[in-house]
């Protein structure tokens, strides 16, 4: 497709279970980002990938959160032992990377709404 896609669109899980969220970036975009949107915290940065490496993981809230990216394309965000405070919409974005590193706008996917019961 032409845009960023994410799956699943909705995920309901029980406290303590692990979940995996998937992101397919726009073809050719080398940079990929995960954000979280919740009522109390607004839009928060989680992690940034350039290719398959993650130079900035500063936004991951705890060691229960991890992410990987393979083949410079698809990324998976994993939350282990989910807690109720993990309930949020998880957004993925991608962008081109140019020599001028700060220029590029990020294109966002529709998000995965995670509900932890």
Partner 1 sequence: AQKVTQAQTEISVVEKEDVTLDCVYETRDTTYYLFWYKQPPSGELVFLIRRNSFDEQNEISGRYSWNFQKSTSSFNFTITASQVVDSAVYFCALSAGTIQGAQKLVFGQGTRLTINP
Contact (Cβ atoms closer than 8 angstroms) between residue 8 and residue 25 = no
Cα–chain center distance at 83: 17
CA distance 34 to 49: 9
Q: Judged by CB, which is closer to partner 1: 14, or 58?
A: 58
Query: Which residue do the tokens 């954000």 mark?
Result: 35
Stretch touching partner 1 by CB under 8 A, among 17-25, 35-43, 65-73, 74-82: 35-43
Q: Which member of 51, 66, 76, 89 binds partner 1 (CB under 8 A)?
A: 89
Contact (Cβ atoms closer than 8 angstroms) between residue 65 and residue 57 = no
The reply to whether 109 sits near partner 1 by the rule CB under 8 A is yes
Q: Which member of 7, 13, 22, 31 binds partner 1 (CB under 8 A)?
A: 31
User: Residue 103: which region, alpha, beta or left (left: phi > 0; alpha: psi -120 to 50)?
Assistant: alpha
CB of 88 to partner 1, least distance (A): 12
CA distance 55 to 48: 7
The reply to whether 117 sits near partner 1 by the rule CB under 8 A is no
CB of 55 to partner 1, least distance (A): 5
The reply to whether 102 sits near partner 1 by the rule CB under 8 A is yes
CA distance 35 to 23: 12
Residues of this chain that interact with partner 1 (CB under 8 A) are 31, 33, 35, 42-45, 48, 50, 55-56, 58-59, 89, 91, 93, 95, 101-111
């Amino acid at each position: 497709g032409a845009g960023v896609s994410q799956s699943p669109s909705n995920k309901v899980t029980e406290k303590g279970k692990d979940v995996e969220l998937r992101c397919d970036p726009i073809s050719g975009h080398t940079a990929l980002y995960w954000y979280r949107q919740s009522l109390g915290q607004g839009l928060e940065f989680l992690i940034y990938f350039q290719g398959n490496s993650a130079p900035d993981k500063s936004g991951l809230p705890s060691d229960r959160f991890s992410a990987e990216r393979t083949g410079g394309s698809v990324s998976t965000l994993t939350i282990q032992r989910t807690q109720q405070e993990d309930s949020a919409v998880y957004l993925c974005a991608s962008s081109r990377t140019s020599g001028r590193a700060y220029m590029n706008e990020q294109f966002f996917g529709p998000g995965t709404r995670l509900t932890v019961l």
